[in-house]
């Protein structure tokens, strides 16, 4: 049995199931710090343990077990795309304070506070594993010869609970100063009610911090109500079945909206958005060195990611 990465309440465990594998899936394309984080968290072993359990329990073939690593391409696209959106927010809008929700083992806080001195970057999560994140990042910074950035902080925060934001806002995000809130790999698991709750919380926070933005790649991951991009991956369905059984999640309850539905949802919630696609941002995933694993369907697959994946920079509409 693959160990659950945290001891949160049962519905949150389901969201957290994949967090342990993200570091390994991000090691294929030369992003800073990822290899070290993956090594220190034992991410590769956890991934391989899960895939081998999936082979036993779901009849996943060896070929599928190798092919499933193509999920890394999507992780790459998502990481780069949303990174560009945050960079634009920092550089073009001059917003230099950010709160990352559900940060897990992501290296972005370290990467961004290294790249932008003076940046205030607060990472948050609810999982027990996250309590070790400050120590993990300190070790990574140390081993990579990077000074531990002063602007980087870590807090425990349940993104659905208004009360959890209070002390974090008081400490790091003064009234009157614009901020961004960022999440990756979180909203796609949430139904409309949870998404609407988060938008309500963000709107209230942003009211006293005009110009603030919510940034996420999560809302448009899926096309026509199906898991469009991941479906290109041979064996992904078996992995999903496996995860669903492990998490006892009713997968049908994941009502991923298509792009029109996402837009309509945001309109209903009165949020304005700018959707940035990979193409618009000039992010190319076609470099042969970008991902050093064999990718039989790489070209059409990457083209599809380019077509569908967006990073959303969202602003509440106060009018
Ligand atoms: C799929 S992982 C993504 C981690 C990270 N953002 C990344 O891309 O590598 C989901 C994360 O969401 C966290 N999480 C789940 N529910 C949450 C909630 N209500 N509030 C804050 N974090 C939550 C989990 O603990 C886990 O770290």
Per-residue pLDDT, averaged over 7-36, amounts to: 73
Average pLDDT, the chain: 82
Residue 77 counted as domain residue = yes
User: Above 90 in pLDDT, residue 262?
Assistant: no
| CA of 182 relative to ligand 1 center, distance in Å | 12
User: Does a structural domain hold residue 211?
Assistant: yes
Ligand 1 closest atom vs CA 161 = 19
Model confidence at 208, in pLDDT bands (50, 70, 90)? Answer: very high
What's the pLDDT band for 67 if we cut at 50, 70, 90?
Answer: confident
Residue 3 lies in a domain: no
Q: What is the CATH number for 23?
A: 3.40.50.150
**β pairing state of 152-156 and 213-216:** unpaired
Specify the pLDDT at position 249: 54
- Average pLDDT over every residue of 74-79: 82
Residue 40: name the closest of 161, 119, 134, 111 by CA: 134
Q: Is the pLDDT of residue 287 over 70?
A: no
Residue 301 included in any domain: yes
CA of 102 to the centre of ligand 1 (A): 4
| pLDDT value, residue 47 | 92
pLDDT of residue 219: 76
Average pLDDT of 52-72?
Answer: 89
37 lines ligand 1 (CB under 6 A): no
Q: Tell me the percentage of the chain whose pLDDT exceeds 90.
A: 47
In ligand 1, which atom is closest to the CA atom of 75?
A: 8
pLDDT of 11: 47
Residue 88 belongs to domain spanning: 10-316
| Domain-located, residue 185 | yes
What are the C-alpha distances in Å from 211 to residues 124, 175, 197?
A: 22, 12, 20
Total number of domains in the chain: 1
Residue 1 has pLDDT above 50, yes or no: no
CA distance linking residue 283 with residue 55, whole number of Å: 34
Give residues with Cβ within 8 angstroms of 88, minimum separation 6. 276, 313
Q: Classify each residue of 35-55 as buried b or exposed e, where b means 16 or more C-beta atoms within 10 Å of its C-beta.
A: bbbbbbbebbebbebbbeebb
Task: Say yes or no: CB of residue 15 within 6 Å of ligand 1.
Answer: yes
The answer, yes or no, to whether any atom of ligand 1 lies below 6 A from the CB of 4, is no
pTM comes to 0.90
DSSP characters for 225-251? TB-TTGGGSTTHHHHHHHHHHHHT--G
6 lines ligand 1 (CB under 6 A): yes
Domain membership of residue 151 (yes or no) is: yes
Domain assignment present for residue 25? The answer is: yes
**Ligand 1 within 6 A of CB of 123:** no
Gap from CA of 12 to ligand 1 centroid (Å): 8
Query: Which range (120-124, 127-131, 284-288, 307-311) has the least confidence?
Result: 284-288
- Per-residue pLDDT at 180: 97
CB 237 within 8 A of CB 72: no
β-bridge pairing 97-101 and 120-125: parallel
Q: Is residue 2 part of a domain?
A: no
125 close to ligand 1 (CB < 6 Angstrom)? yes
> In this predicted structure, what is the pLDDT of residue 4?
33
Residue 204: per-residue pLDDT: 96
Q: Which ligand 1 atom lies nearest to the CA of residue 17?
A: 1
Tell me how far the alpha carbon of residue 15 lies from the centroid of ligand 1, in angstroms.
6
């Amino acid at each position: 049995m693959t160990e659950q990465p945290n001891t949160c309440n049962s519905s949150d465990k389901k969201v957290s199931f994949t967090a342990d594998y993200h570091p390994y899936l991000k090691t294929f394309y030369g992003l800073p710090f990822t290899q070290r984080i993956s090594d220190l968290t034992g991410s590769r072993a956890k991934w391989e343990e899960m895939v081998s359990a999936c082979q036993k329990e779901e009849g996943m073939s060896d070929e599928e077990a190798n092919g499933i690593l193509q999920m890394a391409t999507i992780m790459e696209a998502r990481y780069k795309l949303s990174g560009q959106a945050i960079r634009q927010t920092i550089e073009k809008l001059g917003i230099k304070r950010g709160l990352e929700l559900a940060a897990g083992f992501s290296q972005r806080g370290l990467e961004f506070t290294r790249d932008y001195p003076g940046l205030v970057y607060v990472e948050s999560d609810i999982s027990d594993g996250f309590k070790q994140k400050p120590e993990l990042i300190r070790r990574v910074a140390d081993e990579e010869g990077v000074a531990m950035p002063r602007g980087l902080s870590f807090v425990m925060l349940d993104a659905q609970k208004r009360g959890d934001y209070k002390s974090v806002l008081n400490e790091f995000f003064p009234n009157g100063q614009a901020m961004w809130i960022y999440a990756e790999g979180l909203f796609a698991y949430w139904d409309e009610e949870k998404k609407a709750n988060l938008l309500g919380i963000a709107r209230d926070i942003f009211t006293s911090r005009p110009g603030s933005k919510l940034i996420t790649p999560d809302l448009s991951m899926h096309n026509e109500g199906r898991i469009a991009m991941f479906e290109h991956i041979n064996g992904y369905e078996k992995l999903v079945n496996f995860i669903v059984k492990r998490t006892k999640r009713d997968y049908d309850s994941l009502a991923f909206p298509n792009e029109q539905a996402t837009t309509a949802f945001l309109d209903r919630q009165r949020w304005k958005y700018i959707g940035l696609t990979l193409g618009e941002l000039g992010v190319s995933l076609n470099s042969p060195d970008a991902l050093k694993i064999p990718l039989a369907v790489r070209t059409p697959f990457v083209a599809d990611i380019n077509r569908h994946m967006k990073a959303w920079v969202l602003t509440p509409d106060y009018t």
